[in-house]
Chains A and B, each alone.
Chain A
Amino acid sequence: MSVLVIAEHDNASIKGATLNTVTAAVACGGDVHVLVAGHNAGAAAQAAAQIAGVAKVIHADAASLAHGLAENVAAQVLAIAGNYSHILFAATASGKNVAPRVAAKLDVAQISDITKVVSQDTFERPIYAGNAIATVQSSDSVKVITVRTTGFDAAAATGGSAAVETAAAAADAGKSSYVGSEIAKNDRPELTAAKIIVSGGRALGSAEKFNEVITPLADKLGAAIGASRAAVDAGYAPNDLQVGQTGKIVAPQLYIAAGISGAIQHLAGMKDSKVIVAINKDPEAPIFSVADYGLEADLFTAVPELVKAL
């Protein structure tokens, strides 16, 4: 019995989410193999071979795999799926895009966003925006799973010495093509992997104020910046900073929520943070019900004061 992990990578290196997924794979039992499908992704395959706990890396390289199109990546996974009892993806935008396609072709249910491996066929996953935890058992022969990365520790990125095997690339499905992308420039820690996150909400009032107030605090703490849906919808912060049920799920050591009321959908994305600090002038704001430390104050005075005090 072996477990296959689909690596997330940028062709040169392996993304952090894959390391958490490898830990979940080890918990499923058996040999852990990693598939690196991409274009000119030799360096990423080498990096995958270094991950502790990985027994084998399968490297498929073709121009059709360059942009991770779901149709082509799913075909690549299906080409080797026959050898595995479990197929794991990170529950990231790309993992969620491909995994259900693989599951449907194998005619098995997919188990989304697992936070715990109870046994080889039983898993825990949050439902209803994290307000309930379901324990589900799969009777399918192959378990296709996406892994909530904050639910598992990252495997060590070095120390492994897996063999890299080359696999034939699947043919291009030819029904979709990549046109272009617009990647937000960001030299801060990645939101989903950051140890500290400073998040702003609607109360900031404008994009200028958002930058003026939130950025210095994030700089001071070496933190990633997050935002509530209200702040994103109002254009104060870009979409990919949204934390919540429909945005990123984060669980940093410290989460500072400034001017965020704490709607169910926002809490779904951050309530597993180790320490939560809320700064809000409304004493009734629901965010105070999950905050370890609450400061009832105007964020426009409190946040700059906090920057000064650090």
Chain B
Amino acid sequence: MKVLVPVKRVVDYNVKVRVKSDNTGVDIANVKMSMNPFDEIAVEEAVRLKEKGLVTEVIAVSCGVAQCQETLRTAMAIGADRAILVETDVELQPLAVAKLLKALVDKEQPSLIILGKQAIDDDANQTGQMLAALADLPQATNASKVELAADKVHVTREIDGGLETLALSLPAVITTDLRLNEPRYVTLPNIMKAKKKQLDTVKPEDLGVDVTPRLKTLKVTEPAKRGAGVKVADVAALVEKLKNEAKVI
């Protein structure tokens, strides 16, 4: 059984991004980039399924600029067997990525596709669901537990009031939530080994996909700043402020 794991190169989650002064976007020149945290969880889950003997091959995929190769090397250092980069300089929106992935799903015929639930840059939370729709596959989003059987997968999902378990027929699309697993640290020997693994590059045109953005970003601004707060000396002062100044209790 093959698993396809799409991964995204994003601004590292610890970086506090700044909005550009001309309001055209956020300044991502010279900031640290990493694999989207939810995607690391997706790769880890695929590799664990392989280690359990339930999966034979894990293929990592990334769509974007040439530097996404680094992200794919990281995925292979975690344990993915090979990688595919769909290289383009065009800004990719979730619908375009879902179409590129659909083309790869048609080609590779994986039994399972595991994605992160959302990327921490655009915070869209769309790609997995869109891929499932385009490929006409069942979906389980926000997974916190995955149990693979012969022709079905049981997925426990995090929903607003608690947890919900679904059974999906394979092939299926799963998106990961934080609670699914704790990704392993990559070791130096595995980083060296990952350099020798196969990484193929294709273009959107090769897959016959039009990636033109559908949404136009008119401007990007800073969120409204909060007024400066005050420090209070003790609990009594806090209660007094909340009652008389803020009037919230």
Question: Do the two chains belong together in a single complex?
Answer: yes
Residue of B nearest to A71 (CB): B138
Residue of B nearest to A143 (CB): B215
Measured between beta carbons, the chain A residues less than 8 angstroms from B95 are 103-104, 107-110
Binds B, one of A55-63, A171-179, A206-214: A171-179
A295 touches B231 (CB 8 A): yes
Number of interface residues of B (CB under 8 A): 80
Binds A, one of B9-17, B71-79, B200-208: B9-17
Q: Is A86 an interface residue (CB 8 A)?
A: no
Tell me the smallest distance from the CB of B27 to a CB of chain A, in Å.
10
A182 touches B238 (CB 8 A): no
Contact A134:B238 (CB < 8 A) given known A97-B129, A129-B120, A264-B13: no
Q: Mark B218-235, 1 if CB is under 8 A from A, else 0.
A: 111111001101111011
For the complex, what is the distance from the CA of A96 to the CA of B223, rounded to whole Å?
Answer: 23
- Among A92, A104, A238, find the residue whose CB has the most chain B CB atoms closer than 10 A: A104
Measured between beta carbons, the chain A residues less than 8 angstroms from B238 are 277, 293, 295, 306
For the complex, what is the distance from the CA of A16 to the CA of B90, rounded to whole Å?
Answer: 39
Tell me the smallest distance from the CB of A218 to a CB of chain B, in Å.
13
Residue of B nearest to A248 (CB): B160
A110 touches B126 (CB 8 A): yes
Q: Is B189 an interface residue (CB 8 A)?
A: no
Given A104-B129, A133-B223, 8 more pairs with CB closer than 8 A? A70-B141, A102-B133, A109-B94, A139-B215, A196-B248, A239-B163, A264-B16, A276-B229
> Which A residues lie at the B interface, using CB under 8 A?
67, 69-71, 74, 92-94, 96-105, 107-113, 122, 126-140, 173, 175-184, 186, 192, 196, 221, 229, 233, 238-240, 245-246, 248, 253-254, 264-265, 271, 274-277, 288, 290-297, 302, 305-306, 309-310
> Which B residues lie at the A interface, using CB under 8 A?
11, 13-14, 16-17, 19, 26, 93-95, 98, 117-118, 120-134, 137-142, 144, 154, 157-169, 172, 177-179, 213-223, 226-227, 229-232, 234-236, 238-239, 241-242, 246, 248-249
